[in-house]
Amino acid sequence: MIDTDVLVVGAGPVGLFCVHQLGIIGLKCEVVDNLDKKGGQCIELYPDKPIYDIPAIPECTGEELTNNLIEQIKPFKTNFHLSDRVEKVKKENNNWLIRTIKGKEFKAFSIIIAGGVGSFEPRKFSLKECEKFEGKEIFYSVKDKKIFKNKTVSIFGGGDSALDWAIELSSSSNVKLIHRRDEFRGAQSSVDKVKQLEKQGKVEILTQYQLSSVEGGDKIKSIGIKNDDGNIKKIETNYVLGFFGLIMQLGPIANWGLNLDKKHIPVNTESYETNQKGIFAIGDICTYPGKVKLILSGFHEGALAARGSFKYARPDEKLRFEFSTTSKSIHERLGVKK
Partner 1 sequence: MAKITYIEHSGKSHTIEVQNGLTVMEGAVQNNIPGIDADCGGSMACATCHVYVKEEWFNKLPKKEDGEEDMLDMAYEPNKFSRLSCQLTVSDNLEGLVVNLPVKQA
Contacts to partner 1 by CB under 8 A? 41, 45-46, 117, 123, 126, 157-159, 179-181, 183, 185, 210, 228, 244-245, 247-249, 263, 284, 293
Q: Nearest approach, Cβ of 45 to partner 1 (angstroms)?
A: 4
DSSP state for residue 128 in the 8-state scheme: G
Closest CA to 272 of 253, 300, 292, 296: 300
Furthest-apart CA pair in the chain: how many Å?
Answer: 73
For 289, counting Cβ atoms within 10 Å of its Cβ (0-12 exposed, 13-18 middle, 19+ buried), the class is: exposed
- Nearer Cβ to partner 1 (45/235): 45
CA dihedral 9, 12, 15, 19 (to 10 degrees): 110
- Nearer Cβ to partner 1 (15/278): 15
Q: Nearest approach, Cβ of 228 to partner 1 (angstroms)?
A: 5
- Nearer Cβ to partner 1 (29/211): 211
* 3-state SS assignment for residue 143: coil
Q: For residues 175 and 9, give the distance between their C-alpha atoms in angstroms, rounded to a whole number.
A: 39
Q: Nearest approach, Cβ of 316 to partner 1 (angstroms)?
A: 41
Q: Nearest approach, Cβ of 179 to partner 1 (angstroms)?
A: 8
Q: Nearest approach, Cβ of 47 to partner 1 (angstroms)?
A: 11
- Nearer Cβ to partner 1 (46/136): 46
> How many degrees, rounded to 5, is the angle at CA 211 between CA 203 and CA 244?
75
Q: For residues 191 and 173, give the distance between their C-alpha atoms in angstroms, rounded to a whole number.
A: 19
- Nearer Cβ to partner 1 (62/278): 62
